[in-house]
Structure 1
Amino acid sequence: MKKRLHGFLTLLLVLVVQIGFAQDKTVSGTVVDEDGLPLPGVTVLEKGTGNGTQTNFDGVYTLEVGNGSVLSFSYVGFASQDIKVGAADSYDVTMQTDADALAEVVVLGYSTKGVEEVTGSSVQIGGAEIAESPTVSVEQALQGKVAGVQISQSSGTPGAIQDIRIRGISSINADNDPLYVIDGVPVSNANISGSANQTSLNPLASINSQDIASITVLKDASATAAYGARGSNGVIVVTTKNGKKGETSFTFSSQVGFQNDAFNKRESLTGAQRETLLREALNNAYGANGTNGDFGFTVDNAIDTAIGFNLLSPATADFDGTDYDWDGRIRNDDALTQNYTLSASGGDDLSNFYASVGYNNTEATVIGGEFERINGAFSYDRKLRDNVQLATSVNVSNTKQNPVLENGTFFSNPFITRYLMNPFNNPDNADGSLNINLPFGSLPNIFYVQDNNITRNALTRALVNTKLDWEIFTDFTFSNRLSMDYQLNEYTAYRNRYEGDADDFNGDATVSDEKNYNWVYQGSFNYGFTLADDHNFDLTTLFEYQKNQNSYLFGYGQNFPVDGLIQINTASAAFDADSQYTDWINVSYLGLLNYNYAGKYVVDGTIRREGSSRFPSGERFGTFGSVGAAWNVHREDFMNTDLFNTLRLRGSYGITGNNNIGLNSYQALLTYSANYAGNGAGFPSQFGNNDLTWEKGETYDLGLSFGMFDSRLTGSFSYYNRRTYDLLLAVPLSLTTGFSSQTRNIGEMKNSGIEAELGFDIISTKDFNWNISANYATVENEVVELATGADGQELDPNAGSVYTTTRSGLPVNTWFMRTWAGVDTETGLPTWYVNGVDGEVTSNYNAAQRVDQGANALPTYSGGLGMRVDYKGFFAEANAYFQGGHKIYEQYAQFYLRTNSFTLGTYNGVQELMDRWQQPGDVTDVPAVNYAQNNNFHATSSRHLYDGDYVRLKNLSFGYNLPSAWANEIGLDGLSLTLRGTNIYTWVKEDGLKLDPETRADGFTRLTTPPVESYTLGINVKF
């Protein structure tokens, strides 16, 4: 204990000395290349502080640093150098060329290019920035950082799938999720939760953010065409860390904090409020002026009289005004979040390695949800011979998630209880035990359910990636890569015998195993060469084979004889079992060409011939590709490099495909699940289509990027236009065929928009740096063509929806419903516009016309704002995310915004009902309450449709980086401390929007765990 105290006091003393008493000195010198020529713009940093500068154009630097500090010199294309400051005042540096330097390069998955060689639209986020984000799934760190990428949480429960759209949606019926590539290999990232009704489980949550080197988002055809069909929705390339040459170094990082709901202003009625409304509703129905006749009801005697008429339970009279805090007890306030990682890295001239072990434990902000992950990563690179290089990596994790029953209107959904539980119910018995005989309503006691049910996903994932490079002759390399990704999820659900969804059959148990095995082989030849000094070529040919196998095993049983037994073999009735197997194959042949002349003019081309087992044999192969060009204007002799140090123009055109539909959509199928007199039987289940083939996308992209005043001002601008045709649509069939629909290639839609990014170093000095950044993107979606019926009229793919429509000239899934006209000030009844627009109104819901509401669920604009300030090792950072131009629908208003017995007799409503109409002349948007009247106030209309515009302060952090000189005094190479808050403030445009505005891509607010507001303390130690 004394040792720990002494160490803490020493660290505190070092911090005080560094802050207040450090002695600085001025050092200077020159920076040249191997030929002795000055290098302009070399970055010189004092390690551990971030203080630094860039050399002038004559290659001379001057910097004020502390005695004993270490200077780090870095420059694109050259190996970094570290020099320790001693007694001398001048230090000259000669930079050595490093052909493998990763600075200023973009990882594109199949290839890695310098930023000046890229013709497509891509954005790369560094690993340090990702590691700082205290999120379970690494892709969450991208929100607000990449223009044109919209990320929404489907649930705030830890480990849930994220909804990600890159440049909007490209398909109506096929999948719109991006492709995920890890270390150059496409992987499967589908939900692997054991139940569709429970919280989803994201396979990407199995990867520790501390093990990520970078994430690159590929957006246009030039960037994604190498991935063929699977890249049609954009590509997210994840690159994990590997080792570096040098003495073995260790890093320990810790993030500990707590979290709560980020935004939730929807509150339920208290018991007293509900009693007030109940009396009023009964009087309005059965009182002197009651809509159902005068039965002697008054506000004062309403409850007793209703009990006499058997309208209410006698227990209603026992309510004494006590508020039972169902809402507060359902919330898990200040939910704990922890993430720890220990890593090691090192190497020599022949080999290098990186190894890590990590642990994460994150509680949900609602009772019953918890996430735990243990993971280990190891990568090893070895030069086997002068021309043979081996690289292998292994990432293994075990993830446990306690999912929440939140994906539907289930009685044991805790959020249903939160809003619909009758507040007259006392959750506890007089002896303190939980009450499982609630007198009001049909909802179970969620606290007993959570204590006595077991629900768990246990995902084990092993991702192995091995690559062997053989340089047959100079710059001509034959590469072989084999990757195996094995995901095994074990799902266990036991529901108790006494309370909840299984009490009617004395408890039940469900167990399932899902195994997803994805393996990929890539064989490629790459040749890079130069002709006549200035003509630089890079050629790649690649063959890729990918196979995915998925197996599913399910078991079920009911009626447990005693408590404590949860396995199916102890059940005694209603046994059920199921097993399924699916697989698919993709085969691809790829050619890549990159050419540049003297680094000024860049041309690249991609062609991919791809076959998919999802289509019939004659239609399986499609040819996709792209061409792109870029002009590095700043390299021209006529450019004034004092003004523009970077100026690039680029453009691209390409065609990609989409095959993300059901595995057997093209086949005419029989299903053998029928029971005929106790014997198995088959029946036709799918019509099939032997002409089914690829959905295709044609994309144009133009862009400009620049850096001015030694890159103090940087920015980019892009315009894109994407046309998707041969849409994979389910087209209705005549019922005389015996089938309802058939998947066909028909229809067209388009997306277009702009993207802009800007960064500016407002102040950049030795001690003080202040940087701001912003990005902004738009997307405009329009359906151009759809299938037509026998009458020549378009067939709406959303014809059965009461919420949306899809028609030519409108965006996909445009909100289509009756238009709210307000509450009649004289009668207190709800009204809607008869023609759906204006003028005459009606209180007859069915007499009002459904119309286009002028928006859909997809934001038409989004972006981010950022700022960072550094001062002598101290730093502060803030980032915000915004989106809008769309509308979102509060779907559960149909339950808790009713004004009759459903809400006031059986369940409960929300406090908005307190603003109800009470007398002629009242102006409100909540009708009069009436126990016996269904006025359709809760039904689908624009009353419950809200502008989705919001701004969220995503990140606010403060921290300190201890200079390496002072860290060395206590035996460390570096130490940093960070206090970070995420999602700490949310502004919404429309006050009526009470639930979190961050919805799924379909635009419905749901009763699920909202995104979280968190506060964490991070410590990073290097030794």
Structure 2
Amino acid sequence: MKNKLHGMLTLLLAFVVQFTFAQEKVVTGTVIDEDGLPLPGVNVIEKGTTNGTQTNFDGEYSLSVDVGAVVTFSYVGFGAQEITVGQADVYNITLRTDAAALSEVVVVGYGTRDKTNVVGSVAQVSGEVLEDRPSPNVLDALQGQVSGLQIFTSSGEPNAIPSIRLRGVGSLGAGSTPLILLDGFQVDPGVFTRLNPNDIQDITVLKDASETAIYGSRAANGVVVITTKTGRKEQDPEISVGVQHGFSNLANTDFFEGVMNTEQLTNFWVDSGIYTQDQINSILSENNADTEWYKYYYKEDAPTTQVNLSARGGSKKTSYFLSAGYFEQEGLAFRSNFDRITLRSNLTTEINDWLSTGLNVPLAYSTDQENPYGSNSTNRGLALLAQPFYSPINPETGERYEGVIPGWNRYDPMYLANNNPYDRTRFQINPSAFVELSPIEGLSLKSAVGIDAYDERITSERLPSFVGSLNDGSRSESFRRDVLLTISNTAQYDFNLGNDGVHDVSALIGHEFTDYDRESFSASSTGQSDDRLTMLGQGPNNRDVGQTIAEYSLESFFGRLTYSFNEKYYLNLTLREDGSSRFGRDNRKAQFWAVGSRWNAINEDFFSNISWLDNLVLRASIGTSGNSDIGNYNSYALVGTNQYQGKTGWSLATPGNPALQWESQQTAQVGVEVGLFDRVRLSVEYYDRLTENMLIDVPYPFTTGFSEVTENTGSLKNYGFDLALDFDVVKDKDWSITPYVNFNYNQNKVTELFQGRDYWIIPNTGVSWSVGEPLSFFYPVFAGINPENGDAEWYLPNENPDEIVNNRQDPNNVTNVFNTAALQQNTGIDRYPPLNGGFGLRANYKDIYFESHFAFSSGKYLINNDRYFYENPFQFPGFNQSERILDYWQEPGDESLFPRAGVQFTQFDSRLIEDASFIRLKNITLGYNLSPEILNATGFVKGAKVYITGRNLLTFTDYLGPDPEVDSNLGLGTNPNTEQIVFGVDLQF
């Protein structure tokens, strides 16, 4: 009886369970982190099925499942959690951070790796930092974001490509730009203006030899890896739309407002004896304006517009990311603008369990114009020399003059731009594809191909109606095609030694081939007589054609072996051989190597009880690389052609150097990472970098038939440290405030030069290479104005001009006779700034977020060549001048900036070498993520934010020129950087 009762109860229980589990219901809830903050985008999946959803911006979810189903909650950086659905309708989940889950995946040479396992120095910037910025160049948003990575934008042209250097200047003769990779393949730095920032997943910077040696000679100056977005498997389509519009103005107007007005200028002319009062009265009787000319040569509130559309998602086997973008920015100078259209399709698919493939196809089409009137041109670069009492407005029409401005006698800048049109169009394509096989567990065989290619056409005209050359128009056309093809094949095997699971090994071998081809041709003619007929064929005079061809190739073999023990100790060994067509047959190949190690000290048992220590990592590396970033044919003696009596003649064009070989570089680094109190994160790295056998154009007497020959000679040392620090001041459910700072301190020193020289002054630059010294400015050193007689004086150099004068306070060591050749000497001022970096703040309160980022450079110096024109009233009489010249010597005892009237106020001396250090507010953003209550009312909008962003709104500098950010030895007629204020809306569906 008892057994029957048990059987009946068991049967009844089974029936009840089966009935219960068959019930379907909707479960809801909120997913938060350990601090109570909602987690948007958490994957909520019914285990074993494709039934799932994601949490919204407020961490809420809703999912229909059967009672008894197991639901998994997973999110990047957090440990997954599972629940079994019972009778309850609401399940609130708290996900906890997980050390393993937190390990970000970063790109390293020919693969990816968890950040916690990377041996070398790697810095990663999320695409979220780069998107929605009001600049067509991705690098602009990267400035000051990575310690050691120096980025300067030298022009306000919308199409300007910033300079980029990593940990100093790596060579005196060869290139110093890092290797740029887009989805694993080499591209030209110009690609940064052809990329849609909203397509970028992240940018990774590889700094030390342990991570760069795998790329061999191309990575002598570091590696910058751009990774674009991909789809997400088993995810419903996510559609994003972003619209942004705003305006541009000059970033800093101090220089432009520093010239004299009409009253100041005319009074100075009378006081200094340049003009008499009667002459001034005569001028002012007909011209009595007070024009601020910079407002006439530069536009105000120039528009900028950006529109982005993307879709991403995927099935169980295939993922996709599709995007389209449009960017338009009008430059502030006339005949200056940039338009860009981008399209992208990134697809990956798993054909089966052992075969996968992917295809990325990005396209970009851009049109741009540039203002050419910089340098010494009074049509913009030196336009502030215009006398303020003249007016650019025709009093009869109230409009701009059509042609020449009376008095100033220069063309109206709009008229000049309209009658001398210039258009450049560029079609860029960077497709890449791969096929990956995994025949056995742990083994990956991958073949990949990538292309960096563009077609560029430039059209330049001078209309026949232009008053400067009536009925004599001109036209030139040029076309260029560049194609860089890279093919790589790799085999990687990851396995574990022994049975204890603590010995992990990864071995990689590979082969890569790179081929570059460039072809261009051009044609021009003059004599066009009608604005409607300006094509090449309508110009009967000065017809000319030209054509160029260039090519090089690089073939490489490489390997890497990585070993780790118990997730504590890591060892990385790298070897690569490169062969380049740029060197002679006997010197084409070179080998490079690196050894790196890492100790995850935090995983040691003796640190396990230290609650305030979250992370402690020590790393060290040493290795070599090379540099071949020179011309394609420097090692070859080449012939050129000329025309003689109507026939083609031959001549020796270049001397060549068959002994030319690779520039070599050795780099060592040690570093430490520390995490404290679950709030503070600190990274410090010290490096030492020695470049030898530099590829330098060595000067030779003209009697040899050539002025220079490329040789391997000399050596250069760079050393310094990187620091990155961020800390959470506030971190709770509603608030978060995280300030951060990062910087690089770098010193360079020339350790050897060519031909036994102690120093060499680079012609026409004011910069010298001196053995034992940093790259320095070499100029006559100004001693001041003699207060007794108003003479300008200069310090006499030492017997060896490369030695810095130590007794510069000695009045007996000066002269009042200026002579550039006799007085030039080492000023002791570094050409390159030793300290560069950035700092900022990230904060949010509930749905409101705030970001600010400053970039800075300290110890940056620049020859302000503009001052030679604006502070020389007796060399350029009749032109406007800087207000500073009013401080000139007039009587004995005067302490003044300038000498007495009637003599040259400013020479090319050390006064023009200015401290161009700056702090610039690169970005400030205030935004609001719309609350779920508002979005739920729409029924289809999953996310929305509105924001306002400012770029370059503040600049702090003592530099007297138009823009301190110019990355050159000299600034003259600079088209200065711009500031933008834009409003944006982003929507997700």
Give me the TM-score of the superposition, normalised by structure 2.
Answer: 0.88
AA at the equivalent of 2:659: D
| Aligned with residue 651 of structure 1, among 610, 615, 620 | 620
Aligned to 1:948: 916
Classify 1:120/1:883 alpha carbon distance in 2 versus 1 (closer, same or farther; 3 Å).
same
Query: In the alignment, does 2:353 pair up with 1:386?
Result: yes
The separation in 1 between residues aligned to 2:723 and 2:400, in whole angstroms, is 59
Q: What are the Cα deviations for residues 205-239 of structure 1, in whole angstroms up to 9, with x where unaligned?
A: 11100000000111111121111111111111000
Q: Contact 1:272/1:321 (CA < 8 Å) preserved in 2?
A: no
Aligned to 1:1005: 971
Classify 1:671/1:78 alpha carbon distance in 2 versus 1 (closer, same or farther; 3 Å).
farther
Aligned to 2:777: 815
Alignment of 1:980-991 (within 5 A): 980-988=949-957, 990=958
Aligned to 1:666: 635
Q: Contact 2:890/2:900 (CA < 8 Å) preserved in 1?
A: yes
Classify 1:398/1:67 alpha carbon distance in 2 versus 1 (closer, same or farther; 3 Å).
closer
The separation in 2 between residues aligned to 1:541 and 1:997, in whole angstroms, is 46
Task: Please state how far the C-alpha of 1:397 moved relative to its aligned partner.
Answer: 1.0
Q: What are the Cα deviations for residues 959-999 of structure 1, in whole angstroms up to 9, with x where unaligned?
A: 112244642332211111221212221112x3x52432111
Classify 1:453/1:680 alpha carbon distance in 2 versus 1 (closer, same or farther; 3 Å).
same
| Aligned with residue 512 of structure 1, among 478, 499, 505 | 478
Aligned to 1:605: 573
| Aligned with residue 627 of structure 1, among 592, 595, 611 | 595
Aligned to 1:197: none
Q: What are the Cα deviations for residues 12-36 of structure 1, in whole angstroms up to 9, with x where unaligned?
A: xxxxxxxxxxxxx99799xxxxxxx
Aligned to 2:663: 695
Classify 1:437/1:420 alpha carbon distance in 2 versus 1 (closer, same or farther; 3 Å).
same
Classify 1:609/1:964 alpha carbon distance in 2 versus 1 (closer, same or farther; 3 Å).
farther
Aligned to 2:247: 258
AA at the equivalent of 1:207: L
| Aligned with residue 571 of structure 1, among 539, 561, 564 | 539
Q: What are the Cα deviations for residues 382-427 of structure 1, in whole angstroms up to 9, with x where unaligned?
A: 1112211011011001111111115533454x2332x233445443
Aligned to 1:219: 207
Q: Contact 2:30/2:93 (CA < 8 Å) preserved in 1?
A: no
Aligned to 1:910: 882
Task: Please state how far the C-alpha of 1:438 moved relative to its aligned partner.
Answer: 4.5
Query: In the alignment, does 2:220 pair up with 1:232?
Result: yes
Classify 1:97/1:751 alpha carbon distance in 2 versus 1 (closer, same or farther; 3 Å).
closer
| Aligned with residue 526 of structure 1, among 492, 499, 502 | 492
Query: In the alignment, does 2:411 pair up with 1:420?
Result: no
The separation in 1 between residues aligned to 2:378 and 2:83, in whole angstroms, is 63
Partner of 1:806: helix, strand, or coil? strand
Classify 1:650/1:750 alpha carbon distance in 2 versus 1 (closer, same or farther; 3 Å).
same
Q: What are the Cα deviations for residues 125-181 of structure 1, in whole angstroms up to 9, with x where unaligned?
A: 011111143321112111111111111012121121111111010100111111110
The separation in 2 between residues aligned to 1:98 and 1:785, in whole angstroms, is 49
Query: In the alignment, does 2:295 pair up with 1:328?
Result: yes
Q: What are the Cα deviations for residues 882-933 of structure 1, in whole angstroms up to 9, with x where unaligned?
A: 2112321102222222121x4223x433332333334444332133443xx5
Alignment of 1:102-251 (within 5 A): 104-189=104-189, 202-245=190-233, 246-251=235-240
Query: In the alignment, does 2:896 pair up with 1:924?
Result: yes
* Greater alpha carbon shift after TM alignment, 848-857 vs 687-696: 848-857
| Aligned with residue 843 of structure 1, among 788, 794, 816 | 816
Partner of 1:396: helix, strand, or coil? strand
Task: Please state how far the C-alpha of 1:740 moved relative to its aligned partner.
Answer: 1.8
Task: Please state how far the C-alpha of 1:348 moved relative to its aligned partner.
Answer: 1.0
Classify 1:756/1:416 alpha carbon distance in 2 versus 1 (closer, same or farther; 3 Å).
same
Aligned to 2:844: 870
| Aligned with residue 976 of structure 1, among 919, 922, 945 | 945
Q: What are the Cα deviations for residues 935-954 of structure 1, in whole angstroms up to 9, with x where unaligned?
A: 2x332111111122221222
Partner of 2:456: helix, strand, or coil? strand
Aligned to 1:445: 412
Aligned to 1:192: none
* Greater alpha carbon shift after TM alignment, 146-155 vs 819-828: 819-828
The separation in 1 between residues aligned to 2:83 and 2:460, in whole angstroms, is 56
Q: Percent identity?
A: 28
Classify 1:120/1:504 alpha carbon distance in 2 versus 1 (closer, same or farther; 3 Å).
farther
Aligned to 1:74: 75
Query: In the alignment, does 2:680 pair up with 1:739?
Result: no
Q: Contact 2:753/2:759 (CA < 8 Å) preserved in 1?
A: yes
Classify 1:139/1:109 alpha carbon distance in 2 versus 1 (closer, same or farther; 3 Å).
farther
Task: Please state how far the C-alpha of 1:1019 moved relative to its aligned partner.
Answer: 1.5
The separation in 1 between residues aligned to 2:81 and 2:686, in whole angstroms, is 36
The separation in 2 between residues aligned to 1:203 and 1:404, in whole angstroms, is 21
| Aligned with residue 556 of structure 2, among 582, 585, 588 | 588
What's the C-alpha RMSD, in Å, of the aligned pairs? Answer: 3.1
Q: What are the Cα deviations for residues 828-870 of structure 1, in whole angstroms up to 9, with x where unaligned?
A: 4433223463323433212872221222221111221121221
Classify 1:922/1:114 alpha carbon distance in 2 versus 1 (closer, same or farther; 3 Å).
same
Aligned to 2:309: 342
Give me the TM-score of the superposition, normalised by structure 1.
Answer: 0.85
The separation in 2 between residues aligned to 1:227 and 1:86, in whole angstroms, is 58
AA at the equivalent of 1:739: F
AA at the equivalent of 2:114: G
* Greater alpha carbon shift after TM alignment, 842-851 vs 554-563: 842-851
Q: Contact 2:562/2:571 (CA < 8 Å) preserved in 1?
A: yes
Q: Contact 1:899/1:928 (CA < 8 Å) preserved in 2?
A: no
The separation in 1 between residues aligned to 2:630 and 2:576, in whole angstroms, is 20
The separation in 2 between residues aligned to 1:269 and 1:375, in whole angstroms, is 46
Task: Please state how far the C-alpha of 1:503 moved relative to its aligned partner.
Answer: 2.5
Task: Please state how far the C-alpha of 1:360 moved relative to its aligned partner.
Answer: 0.4
Classify 1:665/1:505 alpha carbon distance in 2 versus 1 (closer, same or farther; 3 Å).
farther
The separation in 1 between residues aligned to 2:84 and 2:216, in whole angstroms, is 47
Classify 1:28/1:967 alpha carbon distance in 2 versus 1 (closer, same or farther; 3 Å).
closer
Aligned to 2:51: none
Q: What are the Cα deviations for residues 312-336 of structure 1, in whole angstroms up to 9, with x where unaligned?
A: xxx9576432134432121111121
The separation in 2 between residues aligned to 1:366 and 1:86, in whole angstroms, is 69
Alignment of 1:540-551 (within 5 A): 540-551=508-519
Aligned to 1:760: 727
Query: In the alignment, does 2:763 pair up with 1:800?
Result: yes
* Greater alpha carbon shift after TM alignment, 610-619 vs 82-91: 82-91
Q: Contact 2:480/2:521 (CA < 8 Å) preserved in 1?
A: yes
Classify 1:82/1:384 alpha carbon distance in 2 versus 1 (closer, same or farther; 3 Å).
farther
Query: In the alignment, does 2:981 pair up with 1:1021?
Result: no
AA at the equivalent of 1:810: E
Unaligned runs of 5+ in 1: 1-24, 30-40, 51-62, 190-201, 284-297, 305-314
Partner of 1:565: helix, strand, or coil? coil
Query: In the alignment, does 2:925 pair up with 1:957?
Result: yes
Q: Contact 2:57/2:932 (CA < 8 Å) preserved in 1?
A: no
Aligned residues: 920
Q: Contact 2:36/2:732 (CA < 8 Å) preserved in 1?
A: no
The separation in 2 between residues aligned to 1:754 and 1:986, in whole angstroms, is 26
Classify 1:929/1:538 alpha carbon distance in 2 versus 1 (closer, same or farther; 3 Å).
same
| Aligned with residue 748 of structure 2, among 753, 774, 781 | 781
Partner of 2:339: helix, strand, or coil? strand
The separation in 2 between residues aligned to 1:137 and 1:464, in whole angstroms, is 20
